[in-house]
Structure 1
């Protein structure tokens, strides 16, 4: 056997069978499933889920959290591949922010001022702050694990976006249980739960994603 042929065979055998993008999508899917398993074994759907689905404010929570998770996951994938651009994903995050601002403005316009604080505090603020990170731990672990196979130029920031994605995944699941549908509640308490995971992702990225 010629030396060149041997080198070619060794290189082919050593080449990864799956692309990083494929591995990342698989890890993201596993994280979503894991969060769902924790959701159904700990909190479950709200009793009036079908009734709430017919109201405008309940679906709005998913209209905010799902694109947030998708956009953050897309930015994370781009940051783990230095040559890739985040392109549309950053605009998805901008669109989510604009939708949230519009929803909050509408809520403040519709509700009398004396109801603002009641809607903001809601019924389950403390439970929300505990449950969203709990549901997001699995997705964050899956993302950080696969990101170690990438080449992020900014490990901490990449981890932060992974934490943002994981937090939004946890918040999406939690939204199916949460009885508080006010955009004011979502803007404050969901955001705090997601922020906690963003900070956890930043810390994890700095320690686990360095080259």
Structure 2
């Protein structure tokens, strides 16, 4: 190797330093910690809903929050994986979870618009929507930081899943304090943060994920 080439290599590698391996487990741990902190903060600020500690849940509470949890975990896992893409990697998992959770808003609208329903708009529901969105912020921030450290090749899809996942887990956290177990309330107002999160992630956050 001639001297100019060796000198060029020496200059390029002069500032090189070892870096920490980019492992998926660290991203999942970061998102998990954000979720746990969010739940603790929600219970501390709003208090636990009646029956939470004694296991007195309605069927709607279990079904809706269960679907939201599955949706959130599926999207979060995919978002963390998208930060370090591999050849041939697919991201189909969240689509099935989205399809399953998609029946909840329809059920909520039908229940709310029934003759004996509460109507599509009520103050308690709007409050729950705001609280669900607030509870999603820390989780979204953790996922955003992780994606910015990586190299997602599909920023729009990554932003979409980030918004859906953080919105779903934020609604789960808020559900630990919400006392309304009706399908009209849960199907509309606890799904609203997911829809809003999806729009914000797809059209706003994705712009900051380009590299």
Which structure has greater helix proportion?
1
1:210–1:20 distance in 2 versus 1, CA, 3 Å: farther
The answer to whether the aligner puts 1:38 opposite 2:38 as a matched pair is: no
The answer to whether the aligner puts 1:85 opposite 2:86 as a matched pair is: no
Q: How many pairs align?
A: 195
Paired position in structure 1 for 2:79: 76
Partners in 1 of 2:154 and 2:113 — Cα distance? 45
Check conservation: 1:119, 1:182, Cα contact below 8 A.
Answer: no
Over aligned residues, Cα RMSD in angstroms?
Answer: 3.0
SS of equivalent to 1:113: coil
Counterparts in 2 of 1:97-112, with a 5 A limit?
Answer: 97=102, 100=104, 104=107, 108=111
Paired position in structure 1 for 2:3: none
Paired position in structure 1 for 2:25: 22
User: Larger Cα Rg: Structure 1 or Structure 2?
Assistant: 2
Check conservation: 2:28, 2:77, Cα contact below 8 A.
Answer: no
C-alpha displacement of 1:177: 1.4
> Where does the alignment leave 5 or more consecutive residues of structure 2 unmatched?
1-5
Paired position in structure 2 for 1:149: 149
SS of equivalent to 1:69: helix
The answer to whether the aligner puts 1:167 opposite 2:167 as a matched pair is: yes
1:89–1:204 distance in 2 versus 1, CA, 3 Å: closer
Deviates most, 143-152 or 121-130: 121-130
Deviates most, 125-134 or 196-205: 196-205
Paired position in structure 1 for 2:194: 194
> Where does the alignment leave 5 or more consecutive residues of structure 1 unmatched?
none
1:188–1:163 distance in 2 versus 1, CA, 3 Å: same
TM-score if structure 1 supplies the norm length? 0.77
TM-score if structure 2 supplies the norm length? 0.77
Paired position in structure 1 for 2:70: 67
SS of equivalent to 1:53: coil
Partners in 2 of 1:196 and 1:210 — Cα distance? 21
SS of equivalent to 2:190: helix
1:38–1:199 distance in 2 versus 1, CA, 3 Å: farther
Check conservation: 1:164, 1:197, Cα contact below 8 A.
Answer: yes
C-alpha displacement of 1:69: 0.4
The answer to whether the aligner puts 1:204 opposite 2:205 as a matched pair is: yes
1:120–1:60 distance in 2 versus 1, CA, 3 Å: farther
* CA displacement 1:71-90 (0-9 Å, x = unmatched): 21133234334322224343
